[in-house]
Amino acid sequence: MAPVAKDRLAALDAHWRAANYLAAGQIYLMDNALLTEPLRPEHIKPRLLGHWGTSPGLNFVHTHLNRVIQERDLDALCVWGPGHGGPAVLANSWLEGSYTQTYPDITRDAEGMAKLFRQFSFPGGVPSHVAPETPGSIHEGGELGYSLAHAYGAALDNPDLLVACVIGDGEAETGPLAASWHCNKFHDPAHDGAVLPILHLNGYKIANPTVLARLPEAELDALLKGYGHQPIYVAGDEPHEMHQAMAAAMDRALDRIRSIQEAARSADGAQGREPWPVIVLRTPKGWTGPAAVDGEPVENTWRAHQVPLSGVRENPDHLRLLEEWLRSYRPEELFDAEGRPSEQVVSCVPEGERRLGATPHANGGRLTRRLPVPPLEHFAVTVDKPGTTLHEPTRIAGALLAQVMADTAQRRDFRVVGPDETESNRLGALYDVTSKVWQERTLDTDEHLARDGRVMEVLSEHLCQGWLEGYTLTGRHGLFSCYEAFVHIVDSMVNQHIKWLKTSRALPWRAPVPSLNYLLTSHVWRQDHNGFSHQDPGFVDHVLNKSPHVVRVYLPPDANTLLSVTEHVLHSRDYVNVVVAGKQPCFDWLSLDEARAHCARGAGVWEWAGTEQGTRDPDVVLACAGDVPTQEVLAAAALLREHLPELAVRVVNVVDIARLMPREEHPHGMADSEFDALFTRDKPVIFAYHGYPWLIHRLAYRRTGHANLHVRGYTEAGTTTTPFDMVVRNNLDRFRLVMDVVDRVPGLAVRATAVRQAMADARTRHHAWIREHGIDLPEVADWTWPY
């Protein structure tokens, strides 16, 4: 039975043709946007930089999403996965008026259409991919693989939202996308909105067929069922038949979603995971474009990927084909003389915020509420004397996070994600107030699993990142706790997210969204179990290459500083915050008040740890960033106090690593005068850094005293060994730091030579001991700050 009446069908087709016309127009036309005169070479852009292939399919989906939004009054968002989807999504936004609402200069008339065409892939214009500039989008369409995870992230805790997600068959070959099909195992039909994947098989990538499009049909069907989906197929190329088929598929899918949700939300609550629908849309690549060019087939081949007609300015035949193609949409029926979309076309556009280009969910900052972060006093550790008590910093922060989780139990706008390590990372307090979300069957031996849990654990950093991106871009809050080494798995994703935020910040209409917060723990210095493969502190280097307006990096040296940093990042907006903190017992150095003051400064002198009292300038600065380096620097300071008491030592701790950068390079950067006051202009600075040592040089190379800066850090000298052996192997240990001081401070007493030798001997003694006993020397294992 055909679900769509004849008039409505004609309107849908008109809407689709209008979108196709506008998509092709963006790729080709500089002028004569409405084809009011015959097409001439000078109407054509000098460089043809768009891609046609995916556009007609996306337009088709958009048209049919419009239909169900109208007919069911849906609150919907769409994630457009395919690359180079810009022309289609922009075309639809312009048609529905959300584009003009967002960019008033691009009016919904002939003049605006001409600007819309011209700006596309034009210098200073808009990108070919779906991007932050695109109204209604939360998903960069350039790098592929993340659409479905973004869609699931957006749907979390939005029970009334439908998130459609168009997945290109190119994208479907990526690892992250392949893993994302299993997101339904973590998706609660009662508290989360629905995700409707639309797998768009147009058959080709740039130059190849796609894997999924060429699978035998039975295999594809088995695969999608294996993913926990009920596939609904729509295939063909005859527009009217396809409109009917797609409308029927949409209705079937949405009916099924409603029935799953109603069952899960009913008083007795369905307990099993039901297969969610997936629509498989098989249409020709470059559908409705030129069938053949220069004797080669184009439509429905890989040749339709980019610009099907590439020589339009020079080749009259191409120009003619382009004009025929554009006129095949019958623009005179679709737009009035002023270039406004016809009533028929506009009849297919939803109202107000129901329009996909106007949904507030895609401009999530508009929906963000300030997170209720409780007073840190409830969680802080008491520090009467520095360096005498030990706490696991992440366990202290875990109690804070648990309270935030508890206080958002009704609001449900806070999530913690991570790959199976929440408990191992000492954040287990969260399980006192929520569970890990899990839709599969459970056994009696399972712990902390529930269908409505708000901790998300899956052994895929890609999914964790994708969920949290989708969640924060739709205005909610969260934190990703991750093994430090393996956060590199999402290097490329965080690149895109930082680029997204950088671009968004320059768009006045985009409201600031909650930051994406990383807690990197199980860090490089404490891989006692795992050894070399788990040692990589380079994520900090990676993110610091990106926009300084987005990136923040914190290395709190103890529990209270971690609390202060955590509070800060949870309240912040539009940043990517990287917090590196250990989960192993760590000395408490600062009381909460001291920690707050220290974190606010970002870097400062720890007077109590140094021996420069009364001197104008110290003889040497011992600087540190990170929990383990801080411990070693403090131990070195104690050794110096004991063995070379006449030496004026200053201890500087850095929490906010960007403080080291020039003020012109990062908003947190210190002025040179501040830097010089802290580190001196001419004294040796021995800097013990958590990660790769050259990062500190890269940040501080412009400073006056840079030539005096000597940095110790991780130099890939790793293995399975004891904590102290790790710092020795990388020359970050207390003994080596004292030796560095002796080597670099001029004019020391003769006795210093003996001190240096004693330090070298201590290293040798340590080495022999751990080789024999497999544990650290008691003198370092049981060390505390002695003053």
d(CA 194, CA 628): 45
The one-letter code for the residue type at 241 is: E
* 391 vs 462 by CB, closer to a second copy: 462
674 binds a second copy (CB under 8 A): no
Q: Which part of the chain contacts a second copy (CB under 8 A), choosing from 124-132, 263-271, 598-606, 669-677?
A: 124-132
24 binds a second copy (CB under 8 A): no
Q: What count of other Cβ atoms lies within 10 Å of the Cβ of residue 719?
A: 11
Q: Which part of the chain contacts a second copy (CB under 8 A), choosing from 4-12, 126-134, 578-586, 747-755?
A: 126-134
Can you read off the two tokens belonging to residue 672? 């040179």
* 136 vs 228 by CB, closer to a second copy: 228
Spell out the alpha helix ranges (H) of 75-170.
86-96, 98-102, 110-119, 147-155
| Strand arrangement of the beta sheet that strand 229-235 belongs to | 75-80, 161-168, 194-201, 276-282, 229-235
In terms of C-beta density within 10 A (0-12 exposed, 13-18 middle, 19 or more buried), how is residue 616 classed?
exposed
586-587 and 576-580 as β-strands: parallel, antiparallel, unpaired?
unpaired
159 binds a second copy (CB under 8 A): no
- Binds a second copy (CB under 8 A): choice among 131, 148, 520, 745: 131
Can you read off the two tokens belonging to residue 657? 């690593």
Spell out the alpha helix ranges (H) of 625-715.
627-643, 672-679, 694-700
User: Total residues contacting a second copy (rule CB under 8 A)?
Assistant: 124
d(CA 610, CA 651): 5
Residues in 448-477 that interact with a second copy by CB under 8 A? 449, 457-460, 462-463
3-state secondary structure of 78: strand
327 binds a second copy (CB under 8 A): no
Residues in 290-319 that interact with a second copy by CB under 8 A? 297, 300-302
d(CA 575, CA 113): 35
Residues in 228-257 that interact with a second copy by CB under 8 A? 228
Residues in 214-233 that interact with a second copy by CB under 8 A? 214-215, 219-228
Residues in 547-586 that interact with a second copy by CB under 8 A? 547
Q: Which part of the chain contacts a second copy (CB under 8 A), choosing from 192-200, 260-268, 571-579, 687-695?
A: 687-695
Per the CB < 8 A criterion, the answer to whether 126 and 86 are in contact is yes
- Binds a second copy (CB under 8 A): choice among 3, 53, 135, 170: 170
* 385 vs 698 by CB, closer to a second copy: 698
Residue found under tokens 């197929």:
233
Q: Which part of the chain contacts a second copy (CB under 8 A), choosing from 326-334, 402-410, 579-587, 715-723?
A: 715-723
CB contact set of 774 (below 8 Å; sequence gap of 6+): 722
* 225 vs 369 by CB, closer to a second copy: 225
Q: Which part of the chain contacts a second copy (CB under 8 A), choosing from 101-109, 116-124, 346-354, 741-749?
A: 116-124
* 469 vs 588 by CB, closer to a second copy: 469
- Binds a second copy (CB under 8 A): choice among 332, 440, 642, 779: 440
In terms of C-beta density within 10 A (0-12 exposed, 13-18 middle, 19 or more buried), how is residue 607 classed?
exposed
CA angle 373, 374, 379 (to 5 degrees): 120
667 binds a second copy (CB under 8 A): no
Q: What is the smallest separation between the CB atom of 285 and a second copy, expressed in angstroms?
A: 11
Q: Which part of the chain contacts a second copy (CB under 8 A), choosing from 324-332, 404-412, 484-492, 583-591?
A: 484-492
441 binds a second copy (CB under 8 A): yes
d(CA 374, CA 400): 7
| Strand arrangement of the beta sheet that strand 603-605 belongs to | 603-605, 649-654, 620-625, 685-689, 709-712
Per the CB < 8 A criterion, the answer to whether 331 and 21 are in contact is yes
Residues in 518-547 that interact with a second copy by CB under 8 A? 528-534, 536, 538, 541-542, 545-547
* 121 vs 474 by CB, closer to a second copy: 121
- Binds a second copy (CB under 8 A): choice among 326, 620, 770, 780: 770
Q: Which part of the chain contacts a second copy (CB under 8 A), choosing from 93-101, 239-247, 579-587, 719-727?
A: 719-727
744 binds a second copy (CB under 8 A): no
d(CA 318, CA 16): 24
Q: Which of 65, 293, 86, 272 is nearest to 184 (CA)?
A: 272
* 13 vs 169 by CB, closer to a second copy: 169
Q: Which part of the chain contacts a second copy (CB under 8 A), choosing from 151-159, 322-330, 336-344, 433-441?
A: 433-441
3-state secondary structure of 281: strand
389 binds a second copy (CB under 8 A): no
- Binds a second copy (CB under 8 A): choice among 159, 209, 360, 372: 209
Q: Which part of the chain contacts a second copy (CB under 8 A), choosing from 19-27, 166-174, 364-372, 745-753?
A: 166-174
* 352 vs 774 by CB, closer to a second copy: 774
697 binds a second copy (CB under 8 A): yes
Q: What is the smallest separation between the CB atom of 300 and a second copy, expressed in angstroms?
A: 8
206 binds a second copy (CB under 8 A): yes
CB contact set of 430 (below 8 Å; sequence gap of 6+): 398, 401, 402, 405, 416, 422, 455
Q: What is the smallest separation between the CB atom of 714 and a second copy, expressed in angstroms?
A: 9
